[in-house]
Amino acid sequence: MSINIGIHDLSFATTEFVLPHTELAAYNGTEIGKYHLGIGQESMSVPAADEDIVTLGAAAAAPIIARHGSDRIRTVVFATESSIDQAKSAGVYVHSLLGLPSATRVVELKQACYGATAALQFAIGLVRRDPAQQVLVIASDVSKYELDSPGEATQGAAAVAMLVGLDPALVRIEDPSGLFTADVMDFWRPNYRDAALVDGQDSINAYLQAVEGTWKDYTEQGGRSLDEFAAFCYHQPFTKMAYKAHRHLLNYCGYDTDKDDVARAIGQTTAYNTVIGNSYTASVYLGLAALLDQADDLTGRHIGFLSYGSGSVAEFFSGTVVGGYREQLRTEANRAATDRRKPVSYAEYRALHERSFPTDGGDHPTPAQTTGPYRLAGLSGHKRIYQSR
């Protein structure tokens, strides 16, 4: 017997600061059209000295706990590729900041930008096993590349929190999924580096290979036809990649790549990513938030999701929008999350980018730059110290 499981609520948070791409272009002498049109980015979220994936994740999840409580949450799955510890899950810090019950399992998942989709699918499995429980999925990342590198313009930071459960109020997630894995070195970050390494063209090619592979498996598993989908949410390392990926899918399926058709399928999913930048694991679900916030009534319509994580693992799956979903949306809060950011100059951004904690285990407080509900207060004895306001 099939049961309805999916995304019951969704909330996101981003950083205290924002760097407009006009500042970056002025610094490096780049024509602004290369950013605004070429990669489809207008600005990037920049973390303050006292915020990280934990503070972002807690800020994203807090409104969900405030609305629904935590009595039914038995599991927290934290997806990230910018982890702060090789052993302890970032989700354990979030669990503490949110005051969640001790009778909770908390784990961290990693597979580049795909991790949040793995977390969502694991959550669905747990709810199918025990329909009385709900699972809190958090995707939180800070995208960081070397200064003056080609990837610098695609940076960003955000967290998305999703409450997964039975009879969801937003989107019902459907079987089957199309899966694809290939061992490629298009993007990676060794343990000894803060900034990722990326081969830009190789990464684009690997992404497009994954589009083909996931769709092939999806159709072989008995999935929906392309014509049944009202919109598509793609992973967006930069927003133009979503357009490129969808054109590739249409070509692969033998369809024309009419510009207006592509825009109708993709355009309303890019609004938040355009101004936030790459948020790695959160990216696909920022696309979903943007779509639900902007589109005409999608009740009963089907959405395609393509989640890609370099290295590489990808998944294509579908969701159906649930009746009454508009009553659950957080459109005003979502827009406020991006509008509240304070612009910084390129020099200020550069100083934040280059800032790092000493590794001597001493006491190293952080300057209080944020105004949100949670902050990273500093390090002491190699321990991260967080505070609630």
The answer to whether 353 is a known catalytic residue is no
pTM of the shown model: 0.97
| Rounded Cα gap, residues 368 and 345, in angstroms | 19
pLDDT in tens, 245-284: 999 999 999 998 889 999 999 999 999 999 999 999 999 9
Beta strands in 251-328 (DSSP E): 302-309, 313-321
Domain boundaries, given as residue ranges, for the chain: 5-388
Whole-angstrom CA distances from 306 to 138, 288, 309, 362 are 18, 11, 10, 44
Asked if pLDDT for residue 311 goes beyond 70, the answer is yes
Asked if pLDDT for residue 1 goes beyond 60, the answer is: no
Closest of 52, 56, 57, 236 to residue 136, by C-alpha: 57
Tokens representing 385? 């110290």
Pick the catalytic residue: 16, 23, 51, 81? 81
Element of type H or E holding 181: strand 178-181
Give the list of residues 6+ apart from residue 94 with CB closer than 8 angstroms, or none.
54, 57, 58, 61, 76, 78, 138
Q: Which of 8, 21, 95, 235 is catalytic?
A: 235
pLDDT given at position 199: 84
Backbone angles phi, psi at 24, to 5 degrees: -65, -40
Q: Angle, nearest 10°, between helix axes 200-220 and 239-252? A: 50
Q: Spell out the residues 6+ positions from residue 296 whose beta carbon is closer than 8 angstroms to its own.
A: none
Does the pLDDT of residue 46 top 80, yes or no? yes
Work out the mean pLDDT of the chain and round it to a whole number: 96
What is the mean pLDDT of the segment spanning 104-125?
A: 98
Place of tokens 């390090």: 379
The length of the chain in residues reads: 389
- Whole-angstrom Cα distance, residue 269 to residue 133? 30
Give 47-61 pLDDT, tens digit per residue: 999 999 999 999 999
Classified as helix, coil or strand, 377 is strand
Pick from 165, 156, 171: nearest CA to 13: 156
Residue 214 CB coordination number (10 Å)? 25
List the one residue out of 308, 318, 319, 315 whose CA is nearest residue 179: 315
Whether 235 is catalytic is yes
Is CATH 3.40.47.10 the classification given to domain 5-388? Answer: yes
Residue 244 C-beta-side C-alpha neighbours within 13 Å: 19
Give residue-wise pLDDT tens across range 67-86: 999 999 999 999 999 999 99
Residue 295 CB-density burial (10 A; 0-12 exposed, 13-18 middle, 19+ buried): middle
Q: Which of 23, 51, 113, 174 is catalytic?
A: 113
Tokens of 169: 């109020």
Known active-site residue 364 = no
